[in-house]
Chain A
Amino acid sequence: MLGYILRRIGMMIPTLIVVSMLSFIIIQLPPGDYLTSYAATLRATGDAVDEAELESLRQRYGLGQPIYVQYYKWMSGILLRGDWGQSMEWRKPVKELIWEKMALTVFLSLVAISVSWFIAIPVGVFSATHQYSIPDYIFSAISFIGAGTPGFMIALVVMLVAMRQLGLNVGGLFSEEYILAPWSWAKFVDMLKHLWIPVIVIAFESTAGSIRTTRANVLDELNKPYVETARAKGVKERKLVWKYPVRVAMNPFFSTVGWTLANLIGGQTLVAVVLGLQTNGPMMLRALRSQDMYLAGSFLFLVSVLTVIGTLISDVLLAWVDPRIRMEG
């Protein structure tokens, strides 16, 4: 098992290197750079441009030099000094800006995924054991809707309804007074109060998918002979379902937990923009718009790293629950 994990981690490293290059190249695609356009704006408004400062920044990030030099400077900064570069728009080191956002993003995704499983597994098992009953049809219909409707549209509708019917302003994760405040217990409680709408919206899509997976898997298991045998031997129905078929049906969940998490982190970007959450989405969008390339690049890279790690977690978990896989590799 340890060997398997080490091998998988070893395979991860080249992937990470290539992905970091890709994110850097993508971020470099827009013509021009932030410093040039920034200097131009300053000049246009008649402000003094500190050429020395611009020049030192240029030196530091190797602007104007070939792309691989810039990439090398960026990467070596991250790896050796933990320096993710400077956000030019915010005039702050990138690392001061991203960690809180990334932490909130991961936290939100974790909560959403827990909520979604908490709902999806019982509902899916119920649907499977009561196949073709009225509740089964209702749940299936809901999960079809959830799987087909894009999250950001659900977010828009939820916001509209909350505002029209309940008179609530549901944007954001915090009340106004806490947005800039340092973390405290009060801020955390305030966040929990705002959390439910984003969680519902984000969880809705993945819940829908999970219900369908659970239902299909449990149905498959329920028709197997061992279930029949157990029933013939007089095992209570509740125990029979939950102890054996459900446990087997959980395998896909293990195998996809990392993927789901990674998908949620990338996929909630749009929802976050719509709902104005203080997660990575809106900040990345803004950074992309203003060509704040280190900030945008760091986000893109981090989200990709999370995906890679997510895949790793999935593989390890799957190998852990399913001995066939770890033996084979």
Chain B
Amino acid sequence: MMTIPEPQDNDLRNSPVMAEAEACPPPIDEMEPLEVLGVEPVLAQEEERLYVAGQWQLMWWKFRKHKMAIMGGIILIVFYVIGAFCEFVAPYDPEAYFIRYKMAPPTPVRIFDTMGKLHTPFIYHRDRSKDPETLRDIYAENPETRYPLRFFVKGEPYKLWGLFATETHLFGLAPDVEDQAVFLLGADRMGRDLFSRLCYGARLSLSIGLVGVFLSLALGIVLGGISGYYGGRVDTIIQRVIEFIRTIPTIPLWMALSAALPADWPVIKMYFGITIILSLVGWTGMARVVRGRFLSLRQDDFVLAARLCGSSEMRIILRHMVPSFLSHIIASLTLSIPGQILGETGLSYLGLGLRAPAISWGVLLQEAQNVRSLILAPWLLFGPAVCVVLTVFAYNFLGDGLRDAADPYAR
């Protein structure tokens, strides 16, 4: 059966964002000087631009002003690109160990040599010796030999995403340099390159947040939507369930649930197990947001109009209501990703989450658990910790910016 064509223009105009855009011309203090100078065509153009701009365009203009949010966005893009192309960015295989470089400190990358002459980035030859008293390894630089850092260098072969076989790495030493290695962030107790491991860890840690949030979103939209749209008894039941789940404190609940995952599961299965556990709590928050939005939108004129035009309930929800609060959803999604990333990190740190053959930031932190070894090799803690904290900050700022941009009434 054909449905009556819907007045799409109309309901867009009635959505709060559009209404605000029309009702509110640019602030007076920006307009007046223009008028005094008699540059009215420019003004008209400006106004015109604002009037015809779509919802997303307006948000982008507003978002652009939020400097910290832009910074956060850039940091995240860099991190996600590194995570996506970790095989390429990492100079070494994350499991390859250099026996001669156990707990080696970060390799200093220099551009000036001892004579103060400028070069392309290079490292000095490093010699290992033992401290006669403490028996600790000492790595001394020998300024006689320089090894330039090469970009797009041939290294260990790998398959990008398991598909494209190649051996080009973003950077590294020339292939003919043996027994020397560049460890941007130091090496761990088995002589594995921490930077490479962090790159691989980024893939799991960053994606777990995204996958978890999308699971939460799916559950949250469906259940929150049902709850808010139908109201009544269904609403009461769903709200009660949410309340019960929220009564159990998150971290102990996560711990108990992930302790139930069999330890011998393969990495991939474990990964999804953890994700599901994280979103089991996450969806409740999402459902509340969605429900609140549904409750307020249900009464709006454009929903009524669509209903009078004979749209089906599903169509009203998906075509008309969801787009009008999608921006809010995206903002609260962004703000809930760090919680999930931290959840994985915390669980893995406790040894309840991902485990050793898997590489995530939490697993790396867990390997840095021993405080005594940290005294000798603090970079083992600072590498993953800085990554996690930076990601969390970036997401928080980005989320703040998005939330402000998505709220048409905020100044």
B91 interface contact, C-beta 8 A: no
Q: Which A294-326 residues have a C-beta within 8 angstroms of B?
A: 296, 299-300, 303-304, 307-308, 311
0/1 per residue, A133-157, Cβ < 8 Å to B?
0000000000010011110110011
Chain A residues positioned under 8 Å from B345 (CB to CB): 150
- A153:B259 contact, CB within 8 angstroms: no
Which of B20-28, B140-148, B370-378 lies at the binding interface? B370-378
- B375:A160 contact, CB within 8 angstroms: yes
Q: How far is the CA of A288 from the CA of B11 in the complex (A)?
A: 53
Q: How far is the CA of A266 from the CA of B256 in the complex (A)?
A: 12
Q: How far is the CA of A307 from the CA of B235 in the complex (A)?
A: 23
Chain A residues positioned under 8 Å from B365 (CB to CB): 153, 156
0/1 per residue, B313-350, Cβ < 8 Å to A?
00000000000000000000000001000100110011
Tally B residues with Cβ within 8 Å of A: 37
A179 interface contact, C-beta 8 A: no
0/1 per residue, A14-48, Cβ < 8 Å to B?
01001100110011011100000000000000000
Which of A124-132, A231-239, A267-275 lies at the binding interface? A267-275
Chain A residues positioned under 8 Å from B352 (CB to CB): 285, 288-289
B239 to chain A: closest CB distance in Å?
Answer: 12
Which of B75-83, B131-139, B294-302, B386-394 lies at the binding interface? B386-394
B32 interface contact, C-beta 8 A: no
A213 interface contact, C-beta 8 A: no
A69 interface contact, C-beta 8 A: no
- B247:A307 contact, CB within 8 angstroms: yes
Q: How far is the CA of A106 from the CA of B256 in the complex (A)?
A: 20
B242 interface contact, C-beta 8 A: no
Q: How far is the CA of A156 from the CA of B393 in the complex (A)?
A: 19
- A262:B256 contact, CB within 8 angstroms: no
- B244:A19 contact, CB within 8 angstroms: yes
Q: Which B89-148 residues have a C-beta within 8 angstroms of A?
A: none
- B350:A267 contact, CB within 8 angstroms: no
Tally the A-B contacts, defined by beta carbons under 8 Å. Answer: 111
- A157:B251 contact, CB within 8 angstroms: no
Q: How far is the CA of A264 from the CA of B392 in the complex (A)?
A: 20
Contact of A163 among B250, B259, B371 (CB under 8 A): B371
Contact of B255 among A19, A31, A147, A288 (CB under 8 A): A288
- Tell whether A148 pairs with B375 under 8 Å between CB atoms, given A15-B247, A288-B259, A300-B256: no
Most buried by A among B259, B262, B385, B393: B259
Contact of B252 among A149, A157, A289, A299 (CB under 8 A): A299
- B243:A15 contact, CB within 8 angstroms: yes
A223 to chain B: closest CB distance in Å?
Answer: 14
- A300:B392 contact, CB within 8 angstroms: no
- A265:B342 contact, CB within 8 angstroms: no
**Residue of B with least CB distance to A280:** B252
Chain B residues positioned under 8 Å from A153 (CB to CB): 365, 385, 388-389
Chain A residues positioned under 8 Å from B346 (CB to CB): 150, 152, 270
- Secondary structure type dominating chain A contacts: helix
- B262:A285 contact, CB within 8 angstroms: no
0/1 per residue, B375-411, Cβ < 8 Å to A?
1001001000100110011001000000000000000
A135 to chain B: closest CB distance in Å?
Answer: 20
Chain B residues positioned under 8 Å from A23 (CB to CB): 248, 256
Q: How far is the CA of A3 from the CA of B365 in the complex (A)?
A: 51
Contact of B249 among A22, A262, A289 (CB under 8 A): A262
**Residue of A with least CB distance to B374:** A160
Most buried by B among A150, A266, A284: A150
A251 interface contact, C-beta 8 A: no
**Residue of A with least CB distance to B255:** A288
**Residue of B with least CB distance to A159:** B371
- B350:A26 contact, CB within 8 angstroms: no
Chain B residues positioned under 8 Å from A81 (CB to CB): none
Chain B residues positioned under 8 Å from A308 (CB to CB): 247
Chain B residues positioned under 8 Å from A263 (CB to CB): 249
0/1 per residue, B176-208, Cβ < 8 Å to A?
000000000000000000000000000000000
Chain A residues positioned under 8 Å from B255 (CB to CB): 269, 284-285, 288
B253 interface contact, C-beta 8 A: yes
Contact of A156 among B251, B253, B257, B385 (CB under 8 A): B385
Contact of A265 among B243, B249, B253, B350 (CB under 8 A): B249
- A303:B249 contact, CB within 8 angstroms: yes
B186 to chain A: closest CB distance in Å?
Answer: 15
- B256:A148 contact, CB within 8 angstroms: no
B39 interface contact, C-beta 8 A: no
B371 to chain A: closest CB distance in Å?
Answer: 6
- A285:B350 contact, CB within 8 angstroms: yes
Q: How far is the CA of A148 from the CA of B350 in the complex (A)?
A: 20
B260 interface contact, C-beta 8 A: yes
Q: How far is the CA of A289 from the CA of B355 in the complex (A)?
A: 14
Q: Which A162-204 residues have a C-beta within 8 angstroms of B?
A: 163-164, 171
Q: How far is the CA of A296 from the CA of B256 in the complex (A)?
A: 8
- A22:B385 contact, CB within 8 angstroms: no
- A273:B350 contact, CB within 8 angstroms: yes
Q: How far is the CA of A111 from the CA of B13 in the complex (A)?
A: 54
Q: How far is the CA of A26 from the CA of B381 in the complex (A)?
A: 33
Q: Which A66-118 residues have a C-beta within 8 angstroms of B?
A: none
22 contacting pairs across A/B (C-beta < 8 A): A22-B245, A22-B248, A29-B260, A148-B338, A150-B346, A156-B368, A156-B381, A159-B371, A160-B371, A160-B375, A266-B251, A269-B252, A273-B350, A285-B352, A296-B256, A300-B253, A300-B256, A303-B248, A303-B252, A307-B247, A307-B249, A311-B247
16 additional A-B pairs beyond A156-B368, A157-B381, A288-B256, beta carbons within 8 Å, are A15-B247, A23-B256, A29-B256, A144-B393, A148-B393, A150-B388, A150-B389, A153-B365, A160-B378, A160-B381, A164-B378, A266-B251, A269-B251, A270-B349, A303-B249, A304-B249
Lowest 7 A-B CB distances belong to which pairs?
Answer: A266-B249, A29-B260, A288-B259, A30-B260, A304-B248, A26-B256, A148-B393
